[in-house]
């Protein structure tokens, strides 16, 4: 709704030792818990005694799944699920996941979170050998790489392991063969993936909140590079690609993940509060109340309040009913749209010096409008504090910061940004402190979008229609 | 979603001096802001040069209105809108409002919030004279009473004024004739209704948050008993039924109204914080953190925290995607449904003594489950504090407490309720303090549901199928 | 789809001696058989032990009713159903039937086919006494008249009988009270209504084809003016308004009714073949093949062929998939739209002298286009024969010929019509013969639309917004 | 609706020399004309300056395409379209066409009618080289074969030509590359494909009726084995695979094709009348009236009537509103379902000796019920005549006779079939005469389903899940 970065996916998988289990229902509920990671499309694939049934479509979980569609995918002993965010206005059903394909050894279903950095090169190589592609997403490339490896490998997990030498970039995967459930995380561990247990069944999910939602017990995060295989013989791990603590996307802690999730041993909620504390130390200000932009700024606002001693207040009411279908009939309404979504609680801010906490600024337009709303409601001063450093560089690992041009921090100095927004002062979290927010986390971090230093080589070829949903190549013009 | 009382309606009206205005768009946006007052059905009626067009249906505002249906109701110089909550599982399109009828003097559209206490008697009297009813709601009774009065009155406003001598109970009304917009509030002022101004146009709404959402300036609340008429000659007030400060439903301050609304000069948010403060004074406890049940318990939790000095914490993540269409596929899932909607932020409560604030308890089942979730997440102690007195009596004035039997406070002592929930202690706001929460409010209060003392006579006849959506009388059996 | 007159309704009713019968399913199937009489909206009301449940909406039977909605209306011992055609582009859910109302003696559901000639006067009289109207259809007027009578009558059937002294014009009715099913036909018998028996249950339907569709045995047509009452005591007839053979709409035989129906003892199919025979005698021509415009011209074409000895041929393929949702994207397509719906079978007409039979001409545009298609397909001559006389006068009794202006026969001579269409010759059935087509029919006929002589007085006041679906009076402007 | 064989597809393509043409609208209208060839799913792909946009889904053309979806595929200079029938109860969106893929040289869209006989072998070969499949239809196999050939061929048409040496069986194809439209027909010409011209643009369609529907001029049928290429340089033909008159599916003339189509120079309508004439000669009978089962038996009935001199009559009214969504609520209704769809016109058959013409018998159940209806309506005798020989053998070329077991003619003698149906006599068209019905047709015929003699080798491997829509292999179990 607002001017935010977007994660691209959430994934889930479950393996039950009991045939005919209601694994689809578990997946359905888990996808609700992961919905914040992707709202464009979703899908569930169930494996029942070697046969895979699936349903996927554009829309939120409640749009795509009802009693009828859940019954259609049916009972089974394994299931995987996926929620996907589209980073462009265009939406395509053909990009919905899980991807279900048939290859030389049978059927395979995949759900994927992340972005490959060498997808374009791999794709061209495959096409040179006669491959055809139905979609533009990396998941189809991964399927081909596993399929190719499978021809010479003795098992699906070996094929996954072999393919991982060739695919580069960010990926967390759940893969379902007729008899196995496989979860894998790239050697840098950019995207989260954890493992749990539910009445003896194994489950995998992008975030621990999905385990909570189905009552599963959290076991541990997968290590960067780890492959976990579950089948009737039990669970085992392949650690051939495990090389170190990895580079986990710090923005998962700042914004993407749900506050009630725990990642690498650190609570997301606590990390956000700590980000607020650091902010209060780095950019102190005299003020009467600290408020956060709902929902993602609230935790940091509470942290700022506790550190600074300035009282925490409820500054806004967020309208929970405004969704994707909201119509803005006229220009007059368009300008007022922030107000419709977010109304100031006047009593909190009138005649007060206000500290306003938001978690990040991409283009800056929304924050400016919010500052203006606070002024109209009688705030005497508005001090903007951002619980992340400024975005300066693109992300190649599964979020939608794909262009330097749109980032306000590349066009203005920090002071100019504050002035542009009409703030009395502005302060961003420092790059130094951002990696310290997840206290106790047992992982390294990727902070490429802030620092420009990436843990892996930047892609040589960026697929020019990376997010194009229509098939739109015109290479054929030569013939 | 949870075990809450329900308001029955929200209303809105706009009169523009300019023909062909986009009054439907304003109404559409205002209904979004009032959606919390009713989620079953909604509708908009537009008057364009004396001709009334309308659309209404079951569903939320985004379900019922899209570009096509908004275009269908079209442009005009007046509009009224309505959101409705159904107090039973049954839903009926025939009860959706605005009600649009044709009578001897032309067309009339009505939107109504409240419940009459003598609807049944009026209805029987009308039927004795040949009236037929298409629905079971009070609005149709009100239409008949105004129509009957209109035969002998010189104007629609006189007819409304005359009808108000006969209809008893709670009602806030907006009425649209071909040339006038009329807003009226019952002499007790049970339900809110305020007035604002937008670029020279007059608007009326159940709550001030709806004025904010369209950028209108708040003028004032209507007085209890007041009738306001707007037509091309301007605005005027009929105060014949105004007799005093009235008896405003205190539960609007506690739960129904949006926290960013201001009613009778008092901020709803501030009132809720004060309720929390009173609670801290009435029922103090040694604890490490105060958390509220989202969303309605958060304000009182903050008030409790400020008064008691116990830190405020974020105890839960509420899943914003779980809606009416959520399927609970199996019994196992049903039991877990609270967890799916509300997940505990472990870091906030683990090894802590927790004060849990909720705004009211009807049946008590949900609160008990929430206490249990906190225990599972490691809370050492859970002290439940409720920012309203116990419900002991039915409400006849527009909410759905219609039976003493379902109210837990009629079955158990307060201590028993606490034990039943597994709480370490429990405390309710006192009846004495409940009327003091809205500091500075210029109105009297109805606290009938807590005290059993009602400002008007209890209904003699309760329509037995009051909330039945099917027409279901079998009086004809005699013939 | 084509340029045709439209019937306004079809009705059905069933009374079962067994409680909890699947009367809704019977009604559902019967409405399919009556769908040709009305495609705008439909509905079913079921009475289960005195309680009436109903569902109605815009759309065809398969659009409005599915498993869920049929289950919703549920089981019972009586049901009535209705299909409705809208005579304007505007459609309104509020005009859908059955109409279900509650009055002094309980609930009542009505389904109605026809048009009153004094609806406006009755309506004004009711409004003078405080009545309010939710719709613009005559059914609501009839409900009020019965309700008014019911106050002083001892039973619902007496009230119906009394009301019939006041309502004038065309009506076939089925009425359901909590304990009785009543069927009634106006004293002129303009619209059809017959009675049948199914496993001991009584059923009523606009046409006998609906009885066939559910496997019911045809008993007889209701007499003009007859009231039939079914209740637990059995079936009885009130003949107080029965005065003679009546004036049945002859156009039911020519076009409205389904060819497999039998009305007043005459087969509709046979009547259409006879119309073709008469045409062959009245307007003989030398030709090679006789073809009919599908579907309604086919029977008369066969009759013409048999009488004339000219071979019958299949001249067209009608596209069964083109429905209401067909989009004509551009003007070029619009002009071709007849071709999309109706393609000539070239082999039948190439180099042939063709007799083209259609059942009526309203505006004449479509027939002209069809003549042109035949020429393009190589027909040497095209002789148009119409199995009805020219429309010259409005119909006040339930069809949509409401204006002389649109009727081509009021603007041109018959020869001019033929020339306008590009036909080599043209011939219409004579007014003398039109009443003879239903050989053996035991009824008189209304031929007002052809002759201008009506069996009842023409309406003094025509409701100006008779077909307006929006409420659109602006009488209020005086106050 | 009834017990009929089903064609599997209809295809269409258009190439315009004008960029930005409304080729989607033309395709939309043409698909309406081809809807009888496939009702499960449909789709349109448009090429606009080298970029391909498409939309496809389950449902009829009016279900899948509305203003919004047509606008979405947009304007362009080429388009192809497809309608598909599912031969099983299962439906899958993933089998909808056109198939749009990206390969080494760019994008490609294909629409296909027919069935390959070596699909399974080709598929296995491709999988051995790492291919992955998203669907189970032959079109994906064809795409791979063309893609593979394209790597070494200089142009897309050369690749198509090369691939045609490897794919065996029945196929009519339209293929769209970024710059070319290619139409191709298998060397046996099993399935129809013709070519036309519309205002200088070239169009291709399964049947000529689709050309008529958009006002295009028929040019000629493609020869068996012919490839036609259209690009900006004009139109050209590749005849390398053209080897003779081919083996056209005779059942296209008997049932599949629309009667107003002309195939190989012969009118389908005339062929059906001739089939009726042959039947009258082969199986003469004394009778009073000849009636056909609508719609497909009507032409043959007219031919039988003309040959025999027995009058042609209209025996049935077919309910045009019964569609896929018809609910048969109870068993009682299920048994009556034929009656709901097809009601006898009693006047035509009462006390008559009736000849009943149908075009084919698969399982025989429906015909038996129809005979019974005629008896109930008073027919004295019922003589069944079938305008095709008995089905005895499976079809491998694009229809759904896939099992000998379900064919009644494999279980009973002809006399037994007649007795089973309750007919007084029965007669089938002879295999000798079936190839003579299309008088003047310039093609050879496949009559494999009647004779068991096929023009090409029967498939060695029949894909076991040929029509399975779910991916359902469990070959992986070894690993």
In the numeric block, which tokens belong to residue B412? Answer: 């158990």
Q: How confident is residue B2, by pLDDT bands cut at 50, 70 and 90? A: low
- Phi first, then psi: give them for residue A410, nearest 5 degrees: -90, -10
Contact criterion met (CB below 8 Å) for D192 and D172: yes
Distance CA B117, CA B187 (A): 13
Indicate yes or no: CB of A22 within 8 angstroms of CB of B330: yes
Q: At C255, phi and psi to the nearest 5? A: -145, -45
Two structure tokens written together for D281: 């000669």
Digit-coded pLDDT (tens) for A260-274: 999 999 999 999 999
Q: Identify the closest residue of chain A to D177 by CA–CA distance.
A: A476
- Give yes or no for residue A468 having a pLDDT over 50: no
- Do the chains contact at C29 and D316, CB–CB below 8 Å? no
C145 at B interface, C-beta within 8 A: no
Burial of B217 (0-12, 13-18, 19+ CB in 10 A): exposed
Confidence of residue B93 (pLDDT cuts 50, 70, 90): confident
Cβ distance of D130 and A52 shorter than 8 Å: no
Give the length of chain C.
Answer: 479
Out of C65-69, C238-242, C430-434, D298-302, least confident range: C65-69
Closest CB to D50 among A49, A54, A477: A477
Calpha distance A259→A268 (Å, rounded): 5
Dist. CA C135–CA C139, nearest whole Å: 9
Cβ-Cβ contacts under 8 Å between A and B: the total is 156
Question: Mean pLDDT throughout A208-216?
Answer: 95
How far apart CA B465 and CA C5 sit, in angstroms, is 44
CB C424 within 8 A of CB C382: yes
pLDDT digits (tens, 9 = 90+) for C140-175: 999 999 999 999 999 999 999 999 999 999 999 999
Strands C342-344 and B51-58: unpaired
**Distance between CA atoms of B94 and B86, rounded to whole angstroms?**
12
- Whether D245 shows a pLDDT value over 80: the answer reads yes
**Nearest residue of B to residue A322, measured between CA atoms:** B32
Q: Classify residue A33 as left (phi > 0), alpha (psi -120 to 50) or beta.
A: alpha
pLDDT value, residue C86: 63
Question: Residue D234 corresponds to which tokens in the numbers above?
Answer: 């004009």
Tell me if chain C has a CB within 8 Å of the CB of B69: no
pLDDT of residue A1: 44
Structure confidence at residue D399 as a pLDDT band (50, 70, 90): confident
pLDDT bin (cut points 50, 70, 90) of residue A155 is very high
Instruction: Give contacts of C 12-31 with D, CB under 8 A.
Output: 22, 24-25, 28-29
Burial class (CB in 10 A: 0-12, 13-18, 19+), A40: buried
The span from the CA of B9 to the CA of B97, in Å, is 10
**Which chains reach chain C with 3 or more Cβ–Cβ distances below 8 angstroms?**
B, D
Q: Regarding predicted confidence, which is higher, B13 or C400? A: B13
Nearest to A316 by CA among B166, B258, D50, C431: B258
Confidence (pTM) = 0.91
ipTM: 0.92
Query: Do the Cβ atoms of C49 and C77 come closer than 8 Å?
Result: yes
A329 touches chain B (CB under 8 A): yes
Confidence of residue D297 (pLDDT cuts 50, 70, 90): very high
D298 touches chain A (CB under 8 A): no
- How many C-beta atoms lie closer than 10 Å to residue C66's C-beta? 12
3-class secondary structure, D189: coil
Residue C148's pLDDT is what?
96
Residue C474 confidence (pLDDT): 31
Comparing C221 with D340, which gets the higher pLDDT?
C221
Q: Do chains A and D touch (3 or more CB pairs under 8 A)?
A: yes
Cα-Cα-Cα-Cα dihedral sign, residues C349, C355, C358, C362:
positive
Strand pairing partners for D218? D196
Q: Which helix (H) or strand (E) holds B358?
A: strand B353-358
Minimum mean pLDDT range among A432-436, A458-462, C196-200: A458-462
* Smallest Cα distance from C457 to chain B, Å: 26
Among candidates B148, B156, B471 on the partner chain, residue whose Cβ is nearest the Cβ of C52: B471
Q: What is the dihedral angle through the alpha carbons of D208, D212, D216, D217, rounded to the nearest 10 degrees?
A: 60
Q: What is the pLDDT of residue A459?
A: 84
User: From the list D100, D106, D471, which residue is nearest A474 (CB)?
Assistant: D106
Q: Are D22 and C340 an interchain contact pair (Cβ–Cβ within 8 Å)?
A: no
Residue pair B78/B120 in contact (Cβ under 8 Å)? The answer is: no
D316 vs C: CB within 8 A: yes
End-to-end CA distance of chain C: 45
Q: Do chains A and B touch (3 or more CB pairs under 8 A)?
A: yes
pLDDT per residue over A70-99, tens digit each? Answer: 998 999 999 999 999 865 445 677 788 999
* Phi and psi angles of residue C199, each rounded to the nearest 5 degrees, phi first: 50, 40
Q: Do C32 and D346 touch (CB under 8 A)?
A: no
Q: Is B235 on the interface with A (CB under 8 A)?
A: no
DSSP state of A255: I
Please, are residues C387 and C305 in contact by the beta-carbon 8 Å criterion? Answer: no
Q: How far apart are CA B164 and CA A468, in angstroms?
A: 62
User: What pLDDT is recorded for position C471?
Assistant: 34
Q: What is the mean pLDDT of residues A120-131?
A: 94
pLDDT > 70 fraction of chain D, expressed in percent and rounded = 91
Rounded to an integer, what distance in angstroms lies between the CA atom of residue A146 and that of residue B251?
61
Chain C's closest residue to D298, CA to CA, is C314
Return residues 84-103 of C near D (CB < 8 Å).
Answer: none
CA-based max dimension of chain A: 72
Whether chain B has a CB inside 8 Å of the CB on A330: the answer is: yes
Provide the residue count of chain A: 479
| Two structure tokens written together for A273 | 């509060």
Task: Evaluate the CA torsion angle D102, D106, D107, D110 in order and state its sign.
Answer: negative
CB contact under 8 A, A326 and B262: no
Judge whether residue A2 has pLDDT over 80. Answer: no
CA B304 vs. chain centroid, Å, equals: 25
DSSP conformation class of D471: B
Region C98-115: mean pLDDT is 94
Cα→Cα distances C422→C345, C362, C377, C383, Å: 20, 16, 14, 9
Asked if residues C112 and C152 have their Cβ atoms less than 8 Å apart, the reply is no
User: Please, are residues D47 and D78 in contact by the beta-carbon 8 Å criterion?
Assistant: yes
Handedness of CA A212, A215, A219, A225 (dihedral sign): negative
CA dihedral defined by A451, A456, A461, A462, rounded to 10 degrees? -50
The pairing of beta strand C99-103 with beta strand C41-48: unpaired
Decide: helix, strand or coil at residue B248: strand
Residue written as token pair 């789809």: C1
Residue C2 confidence class, pLDDT cut points 50, 70, 90: low
Contacts with C306 (C-beta within 8 Å, 6 or more apart), sequence order: C273, C276, C277, C312, D311
| Lookup result for tokens 């899948």 | D64
**Per-residue confidence (pLDDT) for residue C399, from 0 to 100:** 83
- Is the bond leading into B295 cis (omega within 30 degrees of zero)? yes
Please, which residues 146-165 of chain B have a Cβ atom closer than 8 Å to chain C? Answer: 147-148, 151, 154-156
SS3 A417: helix
The CA distances from residue C45 to C25, C105, C229, D398, in Å, are 11, 18, 18, 47
CB contacts < 8 A (B, C): 174
Compute φ and ψ for A343, nearest 5 degrees.
Answer: -110, 135
Instruction: List the single residue in C105, C148, C476 with the smallest CB-CB distance to B156.
Output: C476
pLDDT tens digits along C254-308: 999 999 999 999 999 999 999 999 999 999 999 999 999 999 899 999 999 999 9
Query: What confidence score (pLDDT) does residue C473 get?
Result: 31
Backbone angles phi and psi of B360, in degrees to 5 = -170, 160
Which residues of chain B have a CB within 8 Å of the CB of A33? 319, 340, 343
pLDDT confidence of residue A425: 98
Cβ–Cβ gap A329/B70 under 8 Å: yes
Contacts of A177 in chain D (CB under 8 A): 476, 479
In whole angstroms, what is the distance from residue B466 CA to residue B235 CA?
36
Q: Is A377 on the interface with B (CB under 8 A)?
A: no
The reported pLDDT for the residue numbered B466 is 35
Q: CA of D475, closest CA in chain A: separation in Å?
A: 5
Provide Rg for chain A, Cα atoms.
23
Q: For chain B, say whether A347 makes contact (Cβ under 8 Å).
A: yes
> Which tokens sit at A85?
């965010």
Put simply, whether D306 touches C (Cβ < 8 Å) is yes
Q: Is C242 on the interface with B (CB under 8 A)?
A: no
Q: Is B51 at the interface with chain A, CB within 8 A?
A: no
Measured in whole angstroms, the distance separating CA B473 from the mean position of its chain's CA atoms is 28
Q: Does A200 touch chain D (CB under 8 A)?
A: no
User: Annotated catalytic, D9?
Assistant: yes
CB B342 within 8 A of CB B294: yes
Residue tagged 């009737």 (tokens): A232
Taking the C-alpha atoms of residue B406 and residue B416, their distance in angstroms, rounded to an integer, is 16
CA–CA distances in Å: residue A99 to residues A44, A82, A121, A139, D471: 10, 10, 21, 7, 11
Q: What is the pLDDT of residue C416?
A: 96
Helix/strand/coil for C174 = strand
- Which residues does chain A have within 8 Å of residue D130's beta carbon, measured at their own beta carbons? 103-104, 129, 131, 144, 147-148, 151
Of D101, D104, D474, the CB nearest to A106: D474
pLDDT, averaged across chain C: 90
Q: Does B56 touch chain C (CB under 8 A)?
A: no
User: Per-residue confidence at B478, pLDDT binned at 50, 70, 90?
Assistant: very low
The whole-number average pLDDT for the span B127-137 is 91
Residue of B nearest to C102 (CA): B133
B189/A102 Cα distance (integer angstroms): 68
* Neighboring chain D residues of A156 at a CB cutoff of 8 Å: 476, 479
pLDDT over threshold 70, residue B89: no
């Amino acid at each position: 709704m607002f001017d935010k970065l977007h994660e691209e996916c959430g994934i889930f998988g479950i393996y039950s030792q009991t045939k005919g289990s209601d694994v689809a229902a578990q997946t359905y509920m888990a996808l609700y818990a992961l919905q914040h990671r992707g709202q464009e499309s979703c899908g569930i694939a169930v494996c029942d005694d070697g046969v895979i049934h699936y349903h996927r479509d554009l829309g939120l979980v409640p749009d795509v799944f009802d009693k009828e569609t859940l019954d259609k995918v049916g009972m089974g002993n394994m299931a995987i699920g996926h929620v996907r965010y589209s980073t462009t206005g265009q939406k395509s059903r053909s990009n919905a996941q899980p991807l279900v394909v048939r290859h030389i050894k049978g059927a395979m279903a995949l759900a994927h979170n992340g972005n490959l950095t060498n997808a374009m090169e791999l794709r061209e190589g495959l096409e040179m050998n006669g491959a055809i592609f139905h979609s533009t997403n990396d998941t189809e490339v991964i399927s081909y790489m596993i399929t190719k490896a499978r021809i010479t490998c003795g098992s699906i997990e070996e094929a996954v392991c072999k393919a991982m030498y060739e695919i580069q970039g960010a990926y967390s995967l759940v893969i379902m063969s007729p008899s196995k459930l496989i979860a894998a995380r790239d050697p840098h561990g950019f995207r989260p993936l954890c493992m749990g247990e539910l009445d003896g069944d194994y489950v995998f999910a992008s975030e621990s909140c999905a385990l909570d939602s189905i009552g599963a017990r959290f076991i541990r995060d997968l290590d960067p590079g780890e492959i976990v295989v579950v089948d009737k013989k039990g669970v085992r791990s392949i650690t051939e690609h495990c090389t170190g603590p990895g580079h986990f996307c710090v923005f998962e802690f700042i914004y993407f993940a749900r506050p009630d999730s725990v990642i690498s041993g650190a609570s997301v909620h606590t990390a956000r509060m700590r980000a607020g504390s650091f902010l209060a130390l780095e950019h102190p200000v005299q003020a009467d109340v600290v408020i956060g932009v709902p929902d993602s700024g609230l935790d940091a606002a509470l942290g700022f309040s506790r550190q600074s001693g300035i009282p925490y207040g409820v500054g806004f009411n967020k309208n929970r009913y405004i969704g994707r279908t909201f119509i803005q009939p006229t220009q007059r309404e368009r300008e007022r749209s922030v107000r419709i979504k977010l109304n100031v609680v006047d009593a909190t801010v009138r005649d007060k010096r206000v500290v306003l906490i938001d978690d990040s600024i991409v283009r800056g337009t929304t924050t400016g409008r919010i500052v203006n709303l606070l002024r109209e409601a009688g705030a005497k001063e508005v001090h903007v504090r951002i619980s992340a450093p400024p975005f300066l560089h693109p992300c190649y690992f599964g979020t939608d910061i794909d262009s330097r041009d749109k980032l306000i921090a590349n066009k203005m100095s920090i002071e100019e940004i504050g002035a542009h927004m009409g703030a009395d002062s502005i302060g961003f979290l420092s790059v130094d402190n951002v990696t310290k927010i997840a206290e106790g986390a047992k992982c390294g971090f990727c902070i490429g979008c802030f620092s420009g230093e990436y843990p892996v080589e930047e892609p040589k070829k960026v697929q020019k229609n990376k997010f194009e949903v229509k098939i739109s190549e015109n290479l054929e013009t030569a013939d």
